[in-house]
Every structure is written in structure tokens, then in C-alpha cells.
Structure 1
Amino acid sequence: MAVDDRFTEDYRDTRGDQPLGIRNEIVTGPVGDWATDFSHMEPEWAADPYPIQEDLRQRCPIARTERFGGGWLPTRYEEVAAIAYDTERFSSRSVVMSNFRPPREIAPIGVVPPISSDPPFHQHARKLLLPAFTKTAVSRLEPGTRAFCRSLIDAFEGRDVVDAARDYAQHIPVRVIADLLGFPEEEGPRFREFVENTLEGVNLPPEERIARMDRLFDYLLLQIRDHVESPRDDLTTHLLNAELGGRKLEPSHVAGTMALLLIAGIDTTWSAIGASLWHLAKTPADRERLVAEPGLLPTAMEEFLRAYAPVTMARLVKEDMHWHGVDMKAEDWVLLSFPAANRDPAQFDRPDEVVIDREVNRHAAFGLGVHRCVGSHLARMELRVALDVWLERIPAFTLEDPDAVTWAAGQVRGPRTLPVRIG
């Protein structure tokens, strides 16, 4: 296969002269009133957002902030679902709320299709990925994932305390996504840096954020070139060979989708694994029951996904409008807090309790509407295998120091440090 000339030039040239978007300075610092000045980047939100969300749900179900240039935060399932399904009035061209907005001209494709794509393009971009994420395709990855989880625990030998986030949870999706895309497995630390730059660096000046994104896309270009020169059976080669409307995908589309899988496919899953282990470490009754009844694990992990849903997505308001009692302006952000929706008492019985045998559990952890997570089967497999292997090998564990647990700030929430004592 000859090297495709589209991928031999500097990737920045393939993106054209796109404007940086609308720049907005952030007002950082403590929140006075979450109803009028919310910020998902503050430490108290990262540590425990649920009391804040419940307070807002009762007195101001759609909160407002002037930070990040202005935005809204619905906290009830009804409003979160309504926005998620409404692609006519809300755009997905940027799903990370930060201090600048990508220009309208990038719609309907967006920077990282299909999650940043609006209809009708979204449907076609999403369809390209579906074969790689079917239950059958995912099942082929399970044996390797299980073996890798066991090898991680093998490395704990001789240790009484391990960090269940840094030493276990974060490595699993890194390996799975690297295998899926055909990337070097040893570059896991670089992948984690890309994740943190993208999702936790939203307070940085726009120029610095763009520079960091350039480093990610430069890396992806190297991987694309390598796959053009040496095709193999992986998702990157699939994207390079894929066609839309009888034409090969643009380089920006290929790299953007790879960036999406690398970022979203890693942090969301390691956060779900880490949060589940955190719960089991501090809740011996649930841990002991799952050890005794391993067949309950699929039901329990759905409850962990509901109670500790890691993902919040953003939308941009398309035009000025009066919506559910508030006056939204064009280009306002809207944060779709699936974690808040999952704890709405109007939708779930005993929403703040973790009920590991909950029978009816139509949670929104994987999103709602056309952008519901395309990789949900993969994420479920990784979570199930990670917990199954851990509980099989380490049936007894507790938090070494509850105060030493730290949580990621931003739109993907999960433990960043999780020291546990084994045995």
C-alpha cells in the first residue's frame, strides 16, 4: 500500500485556517452560590458533587454561571434528557466546557467525530464505528483483558498497600484502547497525559490548551503514517480504509475519531473501575456479598455506573430562546450532568443509596439520545472483568486512608489516587 499523500503533510495544515473560537476569560475561585455561580472545576465539586446537585435540584433545577463565558446546569433527569435528545436547538460541536468555543463553521463534523458531530453527519460517522464495538467484537477482547488484569495483580505480590487507581484501574483501558487502535502499549504514560491535558486543563489559557491538543494530534499523525505504511487488522487501519459518500475520510476526521477513542475510551472507564473499587473498599457488606455471589456482579456494576456515573457532557445553545423557565442565549454552554440525572428521586427509588441488587436501573451513565456512548459494550466488559478478577484475587481490602483518596476535577470524575490495604 502506497503512502497516502493526504497523511504526509503537517497535520496542522490539513485543518485549514480555522479561527480559535470565542474567547472567554474564566473567573476562578470559590463559589458563593452554586445556583448563580456554579463551577465544575472547584475542589468541593470534585470531592463530592452529590449534595450540591441535590440542593440545586430542590431550589434551582437549572443553575446559571457567568464563568466560561456563561452556561447552564440542569440537575433533573427530565431536563438532562430533553437537551440530550434535542439536536435542533443544542449543538454537540464542543462537548468539553472550557474558556473558548470552537467556531460554528466546524459543525456538523466537529473536531472529534462522531461525539462532536451534529445530525445528519453524526449518524454516518457513528455508523463507521459500530462494527468495532458490537458485543461479538468486544467478546474477542475479553481474554486478553482478563489476562492483563491478572498480571497487574501479580505485580502486587509482597505489598500490603496498593493504589487501586494508579496501579490497577488506569492501566486497563489504556491497554485495551492501545490494542484496539494498534498503538504501542508501552506509551501508556503518554496517553494518560493526553487525557489529563484535555479533560482537566480547561482553566488554562486557550493558546496553551490548543498547544496541548496540537501535541496530541501530532502524535496521532505519526500513528496514522505508520499505519498507512504498515496496515494491520486494527481500528486505525479500518478508519483509513473507510469511506463516506464514496470518498475516503478526511485526515481531520480520522485523527479526530482516534483522539476521541484515546481520550474518552480511557478516562471514563478507569474512573468507573476506580469508583467501583472505592465503594467496595469502604462498604464491606457489598464487597462480601459480591465475593459470595459472583453472579450478582453484572447487576451490581450497573448500580455502580448509576451511582458513580463518571461522565458529564456539554452542549452549546444554537439560538437565543426561552427554555424551561430560563432565557438561554446563543453560544451559552449547557452541562449535561448524567451523574445528577442518575440521582434524581423522580426517576430512581432511593437514589442516593447504592443498591447492588437493584432490579430496575435505566441509568444514564452512558448518555442519552443520539450520542449515547458507542463503546458501552466495551466499557461494560472492562468494568466487569476488572472487578471480577480483583474480587477473585483480592476478596478482602479496605481504604488505607479515606482522606488520601483524590478525585479528578472536570467532566469525567473518578478516583485519581485510591490507596487500599489488602487482606
Structure 2
Amino acid sequence: MTVDDRFSQDFREERGDRPLGIRNEIVTGPVADWATDFSHLEPEWAADPYPIQDDLRQRCPIAHTDRFGGGWLPTRYEDVAGIAYDTDRFSSRSVIMSNFRPPRDLAPIGAAPPISSDPPFHRDARKLLLPAFTKTAVGRREQATREFCHSLIDELEGRPVVDAARDYAQHIPVRVIADMLGFPPEDGPQFREFVENTLEGVNLPPEERIPRLDQLFDYLYVQIRDHVDNPRDDLTTYLINAELYGHRLEASHVAGTMSLLLIAGIDTTWSAIGASLWHLAKTPADRERLVAEPALLPTAVEELLRVYAPVTMARLVKDDMNWRGVDMKADDWVLLSFPAANRDPAQFDRAGKVVIDREENRHAAFGLGIHRCVGSHLARMELRVALEVWLERLPVFGLDDPSAVTWAAGQVRGPRTLPLRIG
């Protein structure tokens, strides 16, 4: 099969013969009791999930819900880690908890390898990506990232109030990922729409959600075909030509991995940058110290990642079982809340407090186990550079209206609007 043959079929046709999986009714609305009826899509969770998680950790460390067809929410570090490392009993074939489950025959590859892959396929799919995300490879992108951050600040100069989420944080990972994949930088608004459809549209009926996801894959196939016709030195061309087990990657594998890089590579870093600026805006002592001691920033970045970890990942229970005292059923969801794990007092001293000079910090912001984020070096670089440039250019800032800050709902939490007063 030639490269052109692999990408001659429309992705929707390729998926068309697959069942949608187990479908569930839409369940939204106020939560009666977070221990027995949790929902990560409710506004109070988006606004401030930490008191809810702290309460659950004390009285019901593994919460349950009947929503989404049934699911579990562990809040202790040891339970989150236990599930993350247990690939025998928990599957990653879907990492986004929604109102339908993909069919079991998607395993072990999944729709977005390697994040959706189970062993043994996962290891080999992940190895394909490692060269693009080494410290050395990421280091080559730092100067361009820094220059782009400065250009964004240039556009903000003279404005007394700026939206640091919309006008700064979201643009940085969009540009970095577009450069890595060889996508047109002017397509950034489409990327943000893809992110929202994928991560914040999980409660839509499948007949609405699937077409929205198809828009993403339609776009990816246009880019893939362009790279087939015009190869260049980027990650898309690399994936098109990559081999696994002696064969070129399937078209669905290439597109699925690109969707992972586009969605996860943008929203997680966008959220981390925004949450960090939100913290510094409301905590003058930390902001002033980092302005005075810029060498402390790499240490502070780790602490900001711990306390405001943006990502929660899902797993699916493989078979009926009793797990640490709770009766889990096959195809139950499990939400691995890395933010809750990072605030567990049994794991971290002063767990709920931001300590920007914390020296020992084995946080789980990038996940645990075999699915630990392959792009962690890239995310750290983007977050550090974004904060360095902001603090250098705009060292005095605060929240303009704390009540105007809004946060994304779902499994990646970060500010969506963040009005800051400059000076």
C-alpha cells in the first residue's frame, strides 16, 4: 500500500461500520450528594473543585455516580496511582468520560494512540513519539516560543485590562503545536473549536457529538493529504512515514495520534499558563518574589503544576470486580483526578497551599504509570517561558474582577476568561 492509498479513504467512511458503543441517557443537573452523584460537568465543580475533593477524601475517598452509565472518582493519591498503574484491570480505550462508551474492539489501539492504547501496543506506539519530545528537541523550540510570547505582549501594551486567557495563554500552545505538526498558524481559531468540541461537548447526544468530532478528523485528513503531496520536516510527515511492526502506520493511527497532539497539546498547556497567571494575579507576594528572583521560576512552575494540575483522565473497568472495597462493574468509568491526588495531605506537606520554593515535589500533574504525558518537557518549557516573558514585560498585575474569571468544565480545567489589570 502506498502512502496515497492509505489516505484515499475519508475517515468518516472508515469509522462508519463501527458501532457507537454503549449509549447512555444525558444526565445533567444539580448534584444531590457528591459521594453518590458526582458530576465533573457541573458549574460548581468547574468554579472550584478542591473543597469537594477534600470533603470526599475524608468521608468517601472513592465516590460513585449513576450518571454517564456509572462511574467512580477516587480522590486519594494512593488510589489514583493504584488504578493508573493497573493496566490489567483498567482499560484506556477511552480517556474522556462521556455519555457513551466506545466498543471494546477498539482496544488495544484506541482512537487516539498512544493515550487510548492498552499494553502491549501502547509501548510501541509511544516510542514512535519520544524523539520529538526529548529535552533536546524541545530546547530547539524555546527561542521561537519566547519570541512569540513577546509578540503577544507587544499587542497588549497600553491596555489597562487584558484577558490573559484569551489574549495570551491560549495562543502559545496553539502556535507551538501548529509549528510541530506543520499546520497553518492562521488555523488557530479552528483548533480552539476542536478543543471545545472534544473536551467540553461530552454531554451531547452521540448523534451530535460524533459529527463534531468528524470535523476535527476532516481537517486532519486535509493536512495529511497536503503533507503527502508536499513532504516537509515536521511531525506530520514523520508520522506518515513512520513504521510499526514492519509496516507504515494505518491512516486511522496517524490521524488519531495527530488529534491527540492537537487537543491535549493545546488545552492542557493553555490551562496551566492561565491558572498560573490567575494565582500570581491574586497572590502579590508570590508574584513579587518571582519578579525579584527569576531563577526560582522553574521550581515555582512545578508547584503551580501540582496545585493547579489541569488534567483528569478516565479509564474503563475491564471486568466486574471488587476494588479496594467498592464493587466496580465492567465498563464502569473511573475518573483519575490528578488534581485531587496532588492535594492529598497524606502525600504532600501543606497540600492545599502553594509553596513556590517547594524542593521535593513528586506531583502527578502529568499523570502516573505508562500513560504519563509524553509531552511533559514541552509543556514545562511553554509554561516557564510564558511566565518568564509575562513577568519580565508586565511585572505588576492583579485580578480586575475576580467574579469575571470563568473556568472550563470537564476533564481539563483552566481559566477561559481571565481579566487582569496591568500596572
TM-score (norm 1): 0.99
Structure 2 residue runs without a partner (length 5+): none
Q: CA deviation at 1:14?
A: 2.9
* Distance in 2 of aligned mates of 1:29 and 1:108: 34
The answer (yes or no) to whether the contact 2:150–2:389 under 8 Å persists in 1 is yes
Percent identity for Structure 1 against Structure 2:
84
Q: Which residue of 1 aligns with 2:5?
A: 5
Which amino acid is 1:288 matched to?
A: E
Question: Are residues 1:348 and 2:376 paired?
Answer: no
- 1:323 aligns with 323
The one-letter code matched in structure 2 to 1:298 is P
C-alpha distance in 1 between matches for 2:147 and 2:230: 27
**Structure 1 counterpart of 2:421, which letter?**
R
Q: Is the 8 A contact 2:408 2:415 kept in 1?
A: yes
Q: SS of 2:156's equivalent? A: coil
Q: SS of the counterpart of 1:4?
A: helix
Contact 1:26 / 1:69 at 8 angstroms: preserved in 2? no
Looking at structure 2, the residues matched to 16 and 67 of structure 1 have their Cα atoms a distance apart, in angstroms, of 27
CA contact (8 A) 2:3 2:240 kept: no
Q: Residue 104 of structure 1 aligns with which residue? A: 104
Which residue does the alignment assign to 1:65? 65
1:158 partner amino acid:
G
Residue number in structure 1 paired with 2:91: 91
Q: Distance in 2 between matches of 1:205 and 1:173?
A: 30
What secondary structure does 1:336 align onto?
Answer: strand
TM-score by length of 2: 0.99
Q: Which amino acid is the alignment partner of residue 167 of structure 2?
A: D
Answering whether residue 28 of structure 2 is matched by residue 22 of structure 1, we say: no
2:409 equivalent to 1:409 = yes
| Partner SS for 1:327 | strand
Taking the TM superposition and a 5 Å limit, the aligned residue runs for 1:9-408 are: 9-15=9-15, 17-408=17-408
Q: Is contact 1:165-1:416 (8 Å) kept?
A: yes
Question: Which segments of 5 or more consecutive residues in structure 1 lack a partner in the other structure?
Answer: none
C-alpha separation in 1, matches of 2:28 and 2:3: 47
What is the distance in 1 between the residues matched to 2:70 and 2:14?
Answer: 31
One-letter identity of the residue aligned with 1:28? T
Cα separation, 2, equivalents of 1:124 and 1:24 = 33
- Cα offset, 1:6, TM superposition: 1.5
Is the 1:303–1:361 Cα contact (8 Å) retained in structure 2? yes
Q: Kindly state the Cα deviation for residue 16 of structure 1 after the two structures are TM-superposed.
A: 5.5
For 2:37, give the aligned amino acid: D
Give the partner amino acid of 2:357: D
Deviations 1:341-370 (A, max 9, x none): 000000000011000000110000000000
Is the contact made by 1:14 and 1:251 (CA closer than 8 Å) also made in structure 2?
Answer: no
The separation in 2 between residues aligned to 1:51 and 1:245, in whole angstroms, is 48
Which amino acid in the other structure matches residue 417 of structure 1? T
1:108 Cα deviation from its structure 2 partner: 0.2
Q: How far apart in 2 are the matches of 1:14 and 1:240? A: 17
- Checking the alignment, whether the CA contact within 8 Å between 1:3 and 1:225 is kept in structure 2 is no
Please state how far the C-alpha of 1:3 moved relative to its aligned partner: 5.9
User: 3-state DSSP class of the match of 2:44?
Assistant: helix
The separation in 1 between residues aligned to 2:89 and 2:73, in whole angstroms, is 16
CA distance in 2, matches of 1:100, 1:131: 34
When structure 1 is superposed on structure 2, of 109-118 and 207-216 the one drifting more is 207-216
In structure 2, C-alpha distance between the alignment counterparts of 1:127 and 1:3, rounded to whole Å: 21
Residues 74, 335 of structure 1: 8 Å contact kept: yes
Determine the C-alpha separation between the residues in 2 that align with 1:16 and 1:126. Answer: 27
